[in-house]
């Protein structure tokens, strides 16, 4: 994944309520072009902190609650959040950007 696409995903998450990344930014330059370049650089350097953030996951995948049936141990159901499942999957991947890019394109379309 390149910086431009990652920046686009961060802005997409921002539109959906993610705001934690804004605390990473220093006082921004007056020039909009310089501010954008600085944002891209900072977000890219701190990608790990961004993509594994719970609020980022909620913004990308939503806060819907789903239900799983546990047939292995009992005939019962338990609730789980879809965003948590995606973040758990991301953590296990060697290349989490590929998964994030695929999911972003799926959600956006």
Q: Give the global pTM.
A: 0.79
Look-up: residue for tokens 């006082």?
Answer: 27
Q: Let me know: does 55 contact 19? Beta carbons within 8 Å.
A: yes
Sign of the torsion angle spanned by Cα atoms 20, 108, 93, 7: negative
Tokens matching residue 4? 């431009």
Question: What pLDDT shows up at residue 36?
Answer: 84
pLDDT tens for the 109 residues of the chain, in order: 788 899 999 999 999 999 888 888 777 667 777 888 888 888 888 898 999 999 999 999 998 888 777 677 677 777 788 899 899 999 999 999 999 999 999 998 8
DSSP string, the chain: --HHHHHHHHHHHHHTT--GGGGG--SPPSSHHHHHHHHHHHHHHTHHHHHT-HHHHHHHH---EEEEEETTT-SEEEEEEHHHHHHHHHHH-S-HHHHHHHHHHHHH-
In this prediction, residue 29 carries a pLDDT of: 65
Domain ranges for the chain, please list them.
3-108
């Amino acid at each position: 994944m390149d910086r431009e696409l990652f920046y686009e995903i961060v802005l997409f998450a921002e539109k959906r309520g993610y705001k934690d990344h804004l605390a990473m930014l220093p006082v921004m330059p007056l020039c909009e072009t310089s501010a954008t370049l600085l944002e891209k650089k900072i977000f890219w350097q701190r990608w790990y902190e961004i993509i594994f953030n719970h609020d980022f996951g909620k913004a990308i995948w939503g806060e819907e609650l789903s239900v799983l049936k546990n047939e292995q141990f009992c005939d019962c159901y338990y609730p789980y959040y879809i965003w948590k499942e995606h973040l758990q999957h991301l953590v296990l991947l060697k290349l989490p950007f590929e998964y994030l890019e695929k999911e972003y394109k799926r959600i956006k379309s």
